[in-house]
Amino acid sequence: MKRRRCRWVCLSAFTVLSFVSAEAQVSLYTVVDLALRNSSSVRIAKADVMRAAAGLTETKDAYIPNLVLGSSLGYSYGFPLGEPSVFNVTSQSLLFTFSQPDYIRSARAALQAAEFSLKDSRQQVILDASLDYIQLDKAELMLAALAQEKEYTDKLVNIETDRVLAGVESQMELTKAKLTAARIDLKRIHLQNDAEMVREQLAHLTGLPSSSFVTNASSVPAAPSILPTRDSHISLSTMNAGVQAAQADAKSKMYVAFGDSRQMLRPQLSVAGDYSLFAKFNNYDQYFRSFQYNNFGIGIQIRVPLFDATVKAREQRSAADAAHAYAQADQTRDAANEQIFQLQNSLTELAAQQRVTQLQAELAQDQLDVIATQLSNGSGSQSGTPLTPKDEQQAHIEERQRYEDVLDANYSLLRAELNLLRSTGSIEDWAKSGPK
């Protein structure tokens, strides 16, 4: 009974905590942190870093002697055949070669490329999570504005219906009002679908249930006050993690090609040692004049490759790989330069568009205030045309539409700014500057 009661209490507590967590607001910092922990692309990049680090260790370990323990026990009759060792220990290591230092440099550059790729993957996840979070917050604000706009359009439809029945308005005006209401319904459905899709994307990024995302606008850091100028796009591309990864990869392949080119006609030195404990039961002490149990040998092996067609073919292939990697690095750098330049140019246009929409929203609010004041005072319009509740509802609708335009303009500008930070490698600093 006590066990059942304890289980029931734990289950109830888990249910309450789940409900609270589902209803609580989630900050942008938390979403980004969970996305970085849960992202499959980040986990793949981390595995690549571990693999590259192991590759670097492997190239260095060629100079560390290995150690092998073996045995060749067996019975023989007559003249002994083979080696009668109870056990033997062998060791071998590379002593000197012209190519191995280049292979170590290549592995070190490959590790740098993997680290830059990890950084690039982290920044892309931060950008995706941030944009999804901000888009969801904008969608919630727009849905709230559309709900208010829907109320105004319903009132407008009722007013137009009464005016048509009274014979003071044509049927066309009523149809216009209904069309406005239908368009709002369509836009609301579209926004709701978009919001659900964004929730699913955030759920995949963070591992949280899609219903748990309640945004907190105050957790979004302010837009960066200082952004790169147009003239700096070429130098800023060198800070792009993708460009750095491509350049490090090209450097790694160049070292491989250089090492392969120094394989032929150059001495290769290695050191080897062997210890064996021989046995008597193979008649070695009868057939050999001097027999001893303990035997040891050590020496240096010197090889000078004179001709090897496979080595020459490998040299040509690695040279082609290096040329391809350098061309791809240049292509990545040029694409980053163009993207940064395009984003910098678009910021000016988007900022101007944001200013226009903000002024339009202020103008719509001023017009709404004027109409509300005139209707409350019963003074009508200064132009002599009397104002009606229809004008008030239309002014409300216009004000809500301009407010929605402001939300769209703000999001477009912030999205361009975050993409620019992503291209210049600064978005992680921005994401971590907000409250937790």
- What's the token pair of residue 196? 């659900």
- pTM assigned to the model: 0.84
Helix (H, G, I), strand (E, B) or coil at 276: strand
pLDDT digit of tens for each residue in the chain (436 aa)? 444 444 433 433 333 334 334 456 889 999 999 999 999 999 999 999 999 999 999 999 999 999 998 887 766 666 666 677 788 899 999 988 999 999 999 999 999 999 999 999 999 999 999 999 999 999 999 999 999 999 999 999 999 999 899 888 889 999 999 999 999 999 999 999 999 999 999 999 999 898 888 999 999 998 776 555 555 556 677 889 999 999 999 999 999 999 999 999 999 999 999 998 887 777 777 777 777 888 899 999 899 999 989 999 999 999 999 999 999 999 999 999 999 989 988 988 999 999 999 999 999 999 999 888 888 776 555 555 677 888 889 999 999 999 999 999 999 999 999 999 999 888 999 998 888 7
Per DSSP, what are the bridge partners of residue 89?
69, 275
Q: Judge: domain 30-63+99-264+309-432, CATH 3.40.1350.10.
A: no
- The CA-CA-CA angle for residues 27, 428, 407, to 5°, reads 55
CA distance 183 to 44: 45
How deeply is 32 buried, as exposed, middle or buried, from its count of CB atoms within 10 A (0-12, 13-18, 19+)?
A: buried
Angstrom distance (rounded) from CA 110 to CA 161 = 73
Which structure tokens are listed for 131? 């944009």
Nearest 5°: the CA angle 259, 260, 262 is 70
Which residues are CB-contacts of 427 (< 8 A; sequence separation ≥ 6)? 123, 126, 127, 130, 418, 421
Inter-helix orientation angle 389-423/100-166, to 10°: 180
